[in-house]
Structure 1
Amino acid sequence: MSPLLKIRAERDQMSAIERRIGDFLLENAHLLRDYSSQQLANALGISQSSVVKFSQKLGFKGYPDLKYSIAQDLARDGETTGLAVDEARYDGPHAALAGHLWQLKAKAEAETRLINPSAQIDAVASAIQVAGKVFVIGLGEDGIPARAFATRLSMLGVLTVHYVDAVLMQAGASSAAPGDVLLVFSERGRQPVLCQISRRFRQHGGKVVSVTRHTPNPLRALADVALLVAAHDERRHVEPLLYQSALQHLLDLIFVMVCDADEERRRWFDLNAEQMHDLED
């Protein structure tokens, strides 16, 4: 895993001094080649040993190894960005911007794959395949991917219960049975009502799958399986686009796995797709 991604992922679990070091590295990654461990310590007003211990906690032998790994990540990003921009020059006035945005989305998707072990993905797909019912909820903007995924599952013949209202889902959760699955979409994972619904669902023997950012949050802690999304950008109007793109790719992967695991599911999908086309015509 990228050291910068690891710092972001573990920041909420760090001590105050560790957060100061981590924040400095995230904000000044391109300048680290000019900083020794002692210079970094002086800049932050901490001891050199704190910098060394921070590096070792991330899994490196020391600060030089951490600095080298960060430099490699930045070099790879620069090569990819440069290639996208160079190729885009011939495609129109907005091609450079489009190429750079594509590169950011690709990076978010790659980081999202890194923080979701294959066993975790398999567990979610398997739970959906054998579930008696699959409950799906997402509030606000989280409701958009939740609704789309619920629709896709229903196209496969999966008995899907989709709610956009937390009060109704409270009632629906009381009908959960062992083997049922609840997919809870919440980018920040901090809505108390969704945590309450998840607890109730588990009390009835159901399995909770949370879909959140990879930062620590209450909903993720409550889930039986946590799907995590990595998407970072300093621009507020860009970061949600990266989150949505990486999330969609993750959900598409699970959907295809459910399809490929059962020929009967695929037949259901083909039949439902044909019926929908007939209605549209």
Structure 2
Amino acid sequence: MSPLLKIRSERDQMSAIERRIADYLLENAHLLRDYSSQQLANALGISQSSVVKFSQKLGFKGYPDLKYSIGEAVARGDAQDEGAVAEAIDTDPHVALAERLWHAKTRAEEETRLINPPERIEAIAEAVQNARRVFIIGLGEDGIPARALALKLAMIGILGVHHFDPVLMTASTASANAQDVLLVFSEFGKQTVLCHLARSFAATGGKVVSVTRHTPNPLRAHADYALLVSAHDERAHIEPLLYQSALQQLLDLIFILLCEHGQGRLSQLDSSAERIQDMLDT
């Protein structure tokens, strides 16, 4: 894995000082060949040992190894930033804007894929595939992908129970057992009511799947499986777009696994689509 990609994907898990180092490395990757660990520490106003520990935490022997690895990534073009993308286009500013957004979404989706190992994705898909019922909840904006997933599951014959009200979901899950699955969508995983719901559901023996950012949060602590999204940008109006894009890519992957691994799922999808189209045509 590229060291720059590794830094981006693990940034949400870092301490405040580690994030400062990470951001500096990402923004100045092409200049690091001229920086010693002491010079980097001086530029950030931190101790040299913090730089060394940061490098070792990423799996390198020390800062020189990290610097060399980043240098190789820069040479391969892994560190091409959004400004370079815009300069390369040299056309209509709207084209440059679209290219920068695409570049940022691609990076977020790649980071998200790397922090969700295939075996975890397979385990979640299998749990949903074999579930008696799949309960799905998300509050506010988190309710949008939750509702979309519930519709997709219904299209392939998987019984999904979707609510955007935790009280209604609590009532619906009262009869849950070990054959059921609960998917809880919460970007930051901090809503107390959702944590309580996940804890109560786990007590029935059912499987809980949390869908949150790649940050330590209470909801993840109550989940059997955690779907994680890595998407960050300093611009407040861009970061939610990256989160939604990376999350959708993750959910689409699970949906494809359900369609292709489940017996009769594709034919069920075709039948459902035909019924809906017949209804719309009348």
TM-score over 0.5 (shorter chain): yes
Residue in structure 1 matched with residue 243 of structure 2 by the alignment: 243
Name the amino acid aligned to 1:211. V
Name the amino acid aligned to 2:27. H
Residues 9, 230 of structure 2: 8 Å contact kept: no
Residue in structure 1 matched with residue 19 of structure 2 by the alignment: 22
Name the amino acid aligned to 1:274. E
Does residue 137 of structure 1 match 2:137?
yes
Q: Evaluate the alpha carbon distance shift between residue 73 and residue 10 of structure 1 in structure 2; reply closer, same or farther with a 3 A threshold.
A: farther
What does the per-residue CA deviation read over 1:190-240, in whole Å, with 9 as the maximum and x for residues that have no partner? 101000000111111110001111111111121100000111111000010
- The one of 46, 66, 78 equivalent to 2:80 is 78
Does residue 8 of structure 1 match 2:11?
yes
Q: Evaluate the alpha carbon distance shift between residue 35 and residue 82 of structure 1 in structure 2; reply closer, same or farther with a 3 A threshold.
A: closer
Q: Evaluate the alpha carbon distance shift between residue 120 and residue 84 of structure 1 in structure 2; reply closer, same or farther with a 3 A threshold.
A: farther
Residue in structure 1 matched with residue 274 of structure 2 by the alignment: 274
What does the per-residue CA deviation read over 1:153-187, in whole Å, with 9 as the maximum and x for residues that have no partner? 01111111000101111112212111211010000
Residue in structure 2 matched with residue 186 of structure 1 by the alignment: 186
CA-CA distance at 1:55 after TM superposition: 1.4
Name the amino acid aligned to 1:63. Y
For the residues of structure 2 that align with 1:93 and 1:105, how far apart are their CA atoms?
A: 18
Residue in structure 2 matched with residue 210 of structure 1 by the alignment: 210
Q: Evaluate the alpha carbon distance shift between residue 279 and residue 231 of structure 1 in structure 2; reply closer, same or farther with a 3 A threshold.
A: same
For the residues of structure 2 that align with 1:23 and 1:69, how far apart are their CA atoms?
A: 19
CA-CA distance at 1:7 after TM superposition: 4.3
Does residue 162 of structure 1 match 2:165?
no
CA-CA distance at 1:50 after TM superposition: 3.2
Residues 112, 246 of structure 1: 8 Å contact kept: yes
Q: Secondary structure at the match of 1:76?
A: coil
Residue in structure 1 matched with residue 257 of structure 2 by the alignment: 257
Instruction: Please say which of residues 138-147 and 29-38 is displaced more in the overlay.
Output: 29-38
CA-CA distance at 1:80 after TM superposition: 8.4
Q: Secondary structure at the match of 1:244?
A: helix
Residue in structure 2 matched with residue 222 of structure 1 by the alignment: 222
1:17-56 mapped onto 2 (5 Å cutoff):
19-27=16-24, 29-31=26-28, 33=32, 34-56=34-56
For the residues of structure 1 that align with 2:202 and 2:9, how far apart are their CA atoms?
A: 30
For the residues of structure 1 that align with 2:87 and 2:125, how far apart are their CA atoms?
A: 37
Number of aligned residues? 273
Does residue 200 of structure 1 match 2:200?
yes
Q: TM-score, normalised by structure 1?
A: 0.89
RMSD: 2.2
CA-CA distance at 1:134 after TM superposition: 0.2
